[in-house]
């Protein structure tokens, strides 16, 4: 026995068993630190865990990655012994210590699955994964909320073990918001939401290229009320829980989103003052087109500095940068102006709170005054989420906008054909464009017009977007 033990190096167990409560067996989820504090667990599509391969989940912080991982572990413990699954939060371990723990886990427990949460806290995280892939048969699941650093190093990972296994983790979209509200209706404390979903059922999804909204028409009034609630939450799980429970988003949830933005700047050693000035400019202009030179001139910095900050915010999945299309040449027009849209409506609300120091009532006033802009950005984000996939089909491959005499909010390129989406949440008016256009309205419907609550309720995310 002594000889056997001596073949292992000592590992420090302090805190390790608390991170891996499923080692004890039984109904471990009741004692898990992440799951026990969540009163409502939101259902998302499940990923296919492939034995011996690397699975990478990347997305903005607070989008629900850690809870999603714990639900994956819950499924895995029904198939394999809990002690064969190791979860490590990488913000708690140095690289050398982490590699040592993994080695002992493999040798002592014949480990099978390893989960590395927030792996981008490790400077050489890609080397860690590469070494594990080349020397073990472990199944690996890694998450990261610093997509900039992920994109810098992901191409250095070994072939065959990650292709097809990379996912975006986004906030809930409107369809997921409604679907989860229906599932949770008996536990929801917000009477308005409970009343709306009491008699609703789930509906088939459809493509944004061919919206089939007729089956949703009888539920328009309920979906419209839920849509306003979704606007307040932006699909971030903490904000959704606030709304389902209290009917409003709590201040600490706004603070979390603000810290997300500040943390992004800090990690990349960017100036908070410049970042704040750029975002203030974006909030002021709404969805109007801009260029880096104009922003730079207005805030007193070089245009390359503005470009760096905007690209950082897009890489961190805080916003999308939409270039203008040259329709005749079927390519982007790099010298034309661009549009910046926030990936979640909660982000501009939280930033307005941060920039003005306003009370919650003034946030609601901001929503009322900027409703058309918020809806326009939500529509664009949801359509992009429907198509985008890591590496193979990211935003830059298919999404932009168009302006000439008129401006179209979002234009997709699909099989060398262009499809436009124009949000008309005020008075709808059809314009002439050199491509077909769908008009997203407040409540008008015809063969080209689709009310926003119905249109968005039918859109699924892509199979590589959770």
The angle subtended at Cα 249 by Cα 244 and Cα 254, nearest 5°, is 140
Of 66, 41, 74, whose CA–CA distance to 183 is shortest? 41
The three-point CA angle 171-176-177 to 5° equals 80
Q: Which residues 6+ apart lie within 8 Å of 413 measured at CB?
A: 325, 330, 398, 399, 400
C-beta neighbour count of 360 within 10 angstroms: 15
Q: Which of 183, 181, 177, 168 is nearest to 65 (CA)?
A: 168
- Please give the chain's pLDDT, 466 residues, in tens: 333 333 445 556 556 777 888 888 888 888 787 777 777 778 888 888 888 888 888 877 777 888 888 888 988 888 888 888 988 887 777 777 778 888 888 887 778 899 888 887 777 777 778 888 888 888 888 887 765 556 555 555 556 577 788 898 899 999 999 999 999 988 899 999 999 998 888 899 999 999 999 999 999 999 999 999 999 999 999 999 999 998 999 888 888 888 878 877 887 888 889 988 998 888 888 778 888 999 999 999 999 999 998 888 888 888 899 999 999 898 999 889 999 999 999 999 998 888 888 887 888 888 988 999 999 999 999 999 999 998 878 888 899 999 988 899 999 998 889 999 999 887 778 888 999 999 999 998 888 899 999 999 999 999 999 9
Strands 436-441, 449-451: pairing is parallel
Q: b/e map of 426-437 (b: 16 or more CB within 10 Å)?
A: eebeeeebeeeb
The CA-CA-CA angle for residues 320, 324, 327, to 5°, reads: 135
Instruction: Give CA separation, 217 vs 199, 212, 221, 305, in Å.
Output: 14, 10, 9, 47
DSSP code per residue over 150-180: HHHHGGGSPTTSSTT-EEE-PPP-HHHHHHH
What pLDDT score does 224 carry?
95
> Which neighbouring-strand residues pair with 168?
58, 465
Three-class SS string for 118-136?
CHHHCCCHHHHHHHHHHHC
Angle of helix 251-267 relative to helix 272-285, nearest 10 degrees, comes to 120
Angle formed by the axes of helices 237-246 and 251-267, nearest 10°? 170
CB 195, CB 368: distance < 8 Å: no
Q: Is 209 left (phi over 0), alpha (psi -120 to 50) or beta?
A: alpha
Locate the domains of the chain by residue range: 9-168, 246-457
Angstrom distances, CA of residue 77 to CA of 25, 32, 74, 103, 344? 9, 14, 5, 21, 33
Q: Determine whether 351 is exposed, middle or buried from the number of CB atoms within 10 Å of its CB (0-12, 13-18, 19+).
A: buried
CATH class belonging to 246-457: mainly alpha
Strands 417-424 and 407-414: antiparallel
Helix (H) or strand (E) holding 5: helix 2-6
Which positions ≥6 away from 61 have C-beta within 8 Å?
A: 145, 260, 263
So what's the pLDDT on residue 2? 36
Buried b (16+ CB within 10 A) or exposed e, 160-192: ebbeebbbbbbbbbbbbbbbbbbbbbeebebee
Structure confidence at residue 381 (pLDDT): 95
pLDDT (0 to 100) of residue 56: 87
pLDDT attached to residue 1: 34
In which residue are the tokens 């102006």 written? Answer: 337
With contact defined as beta carbons under 8 Å apart, do 220 and 200 qualify?
no
Domain 9-168 falls under CATH 3.40.50.300 = yes
Helix (H, G, I), strand (E, B) or coil at 448: coil
d(CA 460, CA 466): 10
């Amino acid at each position: 026995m002594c000889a056997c033990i001596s073949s292992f190096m000592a590992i420090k167990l302090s805190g390790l068993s608390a991170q891996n409560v499923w080692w004890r067996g039984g109904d471990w989820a009741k004692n898990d630190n992440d799951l026990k504090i969540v009163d409502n667990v939101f259902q998302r599509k499940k990923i296919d865990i492939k034995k011996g391969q690397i699975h990478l989940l990347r997305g903005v912080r607070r989008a629900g990655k850690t809870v999603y991982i714990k639900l994956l572990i819950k499924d895995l413990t029904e198939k394999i012994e809990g002690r064969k699954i190791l979860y490590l939060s990488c913000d708690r371990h140095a690289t050398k210590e982490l590699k040592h723990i993994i080695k002992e886990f493999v040798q002592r427990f014949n480990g099978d699955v390893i989960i590395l949460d927030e792996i981008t806290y490790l400077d050489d995280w890609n080397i860690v994964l590469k070494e594990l892939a080349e020397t073990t048969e472990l199944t690996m699941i890694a998450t990261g909320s610093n997509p900039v650093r992920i994109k810098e190093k992901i191409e250095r990972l070994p072939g065959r073990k990650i292709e097809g296994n990379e996912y975006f983790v986004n906030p809930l979209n409107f369809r997921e918001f409604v679907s989860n509200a229906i599932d949770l209706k008996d536990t929801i404390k917000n009477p308005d939401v409970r009343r709306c979903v009491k008699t609703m059922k789930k509906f088939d999804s459809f493509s944004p290229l061919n919206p089939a909204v007729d089956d949703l028409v009888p539920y328009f009034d309920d979906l419209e009320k839920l849509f306003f609630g979704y606007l307040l939450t932006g699909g971030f799980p903490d904000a959704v829980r606030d709304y389902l429970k209290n009917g409003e988003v709590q201040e600490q949830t706004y603070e979390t989103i603000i810290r997300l933005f500040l943390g992004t700047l800090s990690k990349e050693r960017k100036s908070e003052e410049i970042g704040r000035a750029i975002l203030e400019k974006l909030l002021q202009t709404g969805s109007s087109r801009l260029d880096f030179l104009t922003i730079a001139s207005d805030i007193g910095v070089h245009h390359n500095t503005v470009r760096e900050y905007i690209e950082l915010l897009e890489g961190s999945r805080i916003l999308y940068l939409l270039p203008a299309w040259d329709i005749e040449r079927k390519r982007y027009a790099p010298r034309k102006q661009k549009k910046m849209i926030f990936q979640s409506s909660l982000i501009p609300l939280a930033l307005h709170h941060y920039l003005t120091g306003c009370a919650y009532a003034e946030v609601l006033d901001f929503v009322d005054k900027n409703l058309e802009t918020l809806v326009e950005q939500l529509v664009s984000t949801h359509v992009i989420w429907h198509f985008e996939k890591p590496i193979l089909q990211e935003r830059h491959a298919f999404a932009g906008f168009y302006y000439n005499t008129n401006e179209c909010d979002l234009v997709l390129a699909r099989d060398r054909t262009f499809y436009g989406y124009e949000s008309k949440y005020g008075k709808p008016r059809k314009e002439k464009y050199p491509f077909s256009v769908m008009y997203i309205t407040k409540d008008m419907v015809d063969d080209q017009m689709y009310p926003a609550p119905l249109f968005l309720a039918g859109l699924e995310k892509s199979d590589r977007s959770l």
